[in-house]
Amino acid sequence: MQHQRAENPPDAPGHRRLGPYPTAAAAENWRDELDRRNEDWDEENRRWAGDH
């Protein structure tokens, strides 16, 4: 994210997008959701590998 605000330009390339988000507030807090999801996946990977 280059400017820290949510936007939805029709010509933005797909590799520069996250979402869709259900609300503007959710889009503005994208990093919190991304961090939480990554932490969940890391924990799942540790459980899968047997590294409780």
Say if pTM beats, i.e. exceeds, 0.75: no
Give the pLDDT confidence score for residue 6 in this predicted structure.
Answer: 75
Q: Are 27 and 19 in contact (CB under 8 A)?
A: yes
Give the pLDDT confidence score for residue 24 in this predicted structure.
Answer: 87
Taking only the tens place, the pLDDT of each residue in 5-52 is 777 777 777 776 777 889 989 988 989 999 999 999 999 999 999 865
Give the pLDDT confidence score for residue 20 in this predicted structure.
Answer: 84
Identify the band that residue 2 occupies on the pLDDT scale cut at 50, 70 and 90.
Answer: low
